[in-house]
């Protein structure tokens, strides 16, 4: 079936892989999810997958008149994505193998944790292809099980069930992974995201390079990723703050696993409250890491998110002496890089502090983004050196 765009400008005509429902002329829902997309004059744009319920009605697979063998195309792209990550596996046994639109596989994420693969599907047509996807994943060397994290709120928009389930093989959980010299125990069933924040792997290594001899505060620490790498890099000690006691229990277990247990302190607390209280006192910290969860998942909530980012960065800046380092992150893709830099700059100004921005970082190589889909470039990591 062919779907036609309304007259006007559309990002898809410039190569963006998303078409929103309001961009299409009225149509009956197609019986086959693979659809042809035509421009307003009837010229072929390409072929994509159609969702009957999502606001993103079509996600493009190809542009132009290329014939699509859907099963073959998906399997070839999985093979290509996995092959592109082979060079990473010597330093990391936890990494992303498939990153959705960036790998030409809309709505499909596959993360590897040693012998386990964890799958997230956020697009209805891709869910229908999951059995064949799993068959292909189960053939990868060393894989013992494929587990789906399906309890994602975004799946409501795709009329998909919110459930976690074992798709193939056996469930190995928890599982131990290695990341640039740090060993983690990861809970694939109860942990955040697919079990661990894999997207911060290279930013954690960057923090380690600055950590020697410093006292470190790791806020929104989760299971201690940034703090553990800081300790590996020679930090004198680390305080890890998080509201989830279970996450900090795992952080302590990971510190013990790596021989850092005497240099890690944990504080179970609301990060905003803890920073507000602590910023009034003399601070022993000279490196602060802020890695909060997404403060907004919609454009409507951006103003509130910016207030949140400003608050935590203002408080953190007051903890640091001249020469201290502020590492601050945002995973809210509705807050773009320039806006995030500006809000941190405003926080520094209101805290009566000045700093130089010395690094602008983002996602690691296994979390590549689509060049024409800004929504896929969500992670920002800024490193500031305090000057006053």
The model's pTM is 0.94
Q: Give the dihedral of Cα atoms 87, 92, 95, 97; nearest 10 deg.
A: 30
Range 67-91 average pLDDT: 93
Residues of the chain with CATH 2.30.130.10: 2-63
Please check whether residue 219 is in contact with residue 275, taking contact to mean a CB–CB distance below 8 angstroms. Answer: yes
CATH 2.30.130.10 correct for 2-63: yes
331 is annotated as an active-site residue: yes
Handedness of CA 104, 110, 111, 115 (dihedral sign): negative
How high is the pLDDT of residue 215?
97
Q: What is the pLDDT of residue 87?
A: 86
pLDDT band for position 246 (50/70/90)? very high
CB-based contact 125:140 (threshold 8 Å) = no
Q: Is the confidence at residue 378, as pLDDT, over 80?
A: yes
Catalytic residue (choose from 16, 329, 331, 381):
331
pLDDT at site 107: 96
Q: CA–CA separation, 216 vs 269, rounded Å? A: 17
Give the tens place of pLDDT for each residue, 277-320: 998 777 789 999 999 998 887 778 899 999 999 999 999 999 99
- At the second CATH level, the architecture of 197-386 is 3-Layer(aba) Sandwich (3.40)
HSE-CB of 167 using CA atoms within 13 angstroms: 26
Mean pLDDT of the chain: 95
Which CATH superfamily, name and number, covers 70-175?
RNA methyltransferase domain (HRMD) like (3.30.750.80)
Instruction: Over range 122-129, report the average pLDDT.
Output: 95
Q: Where in the chain is the domain with CATH 3.30.750.80?
A: 70-175
Tens digit of pLDDT for each residue in 154-169? 999 999 999 999 999 9
Question: Does the structure show a pLDDT above 90 at 95?
Answer: yes
């Amino acid at each position: 079936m062919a779907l036609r765009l309304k007259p006007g400008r559309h990002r898809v005509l410039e190569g963006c892989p998303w078409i929103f429902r309001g961009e299409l002329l009225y149509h009956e829902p197609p019986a086959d999810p693979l659809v042809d997309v035509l421009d307003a004059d009837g010229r072929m744009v390409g072929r994509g997958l159609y969702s009957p319920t999502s606001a993103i009605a079509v996600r493009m697979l190809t542009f132009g008149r290329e014939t699509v063998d859907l099963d073959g195309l998906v399997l070839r792209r999985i093979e290509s994505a996995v092959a592109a990550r082979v060079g990473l596996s010597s330093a990391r046994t936890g990494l992303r193998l498939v990153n959705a639109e960036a790998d030409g596989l809309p709505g499909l994420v596959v993360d590897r944790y040693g012998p386990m693969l964890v799958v997230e599907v956020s697009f209805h047509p891709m869910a229908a292809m999951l059995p064949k996807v799993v068959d292909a994943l189960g053939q990868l060397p060393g894989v013992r099980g494929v587990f789906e994290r399906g309890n994602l709120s975004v799946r409501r928009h795709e009329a998909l069930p919110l459930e976690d389930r074992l798709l193939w093989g056996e469930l190995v959980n928890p599982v131990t992974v290695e990341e640039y010299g740090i060993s983690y125990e990861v809970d694939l069933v109860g942990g955040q995201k697919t079990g661990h924040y894999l997207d911060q792997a290279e930013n954690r290594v960057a923090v380690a390079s600055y950590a020697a001899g410093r006292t470190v505060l790791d806020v929104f620490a989760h299971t201690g990723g940034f703090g553990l790498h800081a300790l590996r890099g020679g930090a004198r000690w680390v305080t890890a703050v998080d509201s989830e006691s279970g996450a900090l229990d795992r952080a302590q277990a990971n510190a013990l696993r790596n021989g850092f247990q005497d240099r890690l302190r944990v504080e179970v607390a609301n990060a905003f409250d803890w920073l507000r209280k602590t910023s009034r006192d003399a601070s022993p910290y000279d490196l602060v890491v802020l890695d909060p969860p997404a403060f907004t998942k919609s454009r409507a909530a951006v103003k509130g998110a910016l207030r949140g980012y400003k608050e935590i960065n203002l408080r953190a800046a007051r903890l640091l002496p001249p020469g201290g380092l502020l590492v601050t992150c945002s995973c809210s893709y509705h807050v773009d890089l320039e806006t995030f830099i500006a809000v941190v700059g405003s926080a520094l100004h209101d805290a009566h502090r000045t700093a130089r921005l010395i690094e602008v970082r983002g996602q690691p190589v296994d979390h590549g983004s689509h060049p024409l889909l800004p929504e896929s470039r969500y992670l920002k990591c800024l490193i500031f050196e305090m000057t006053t």
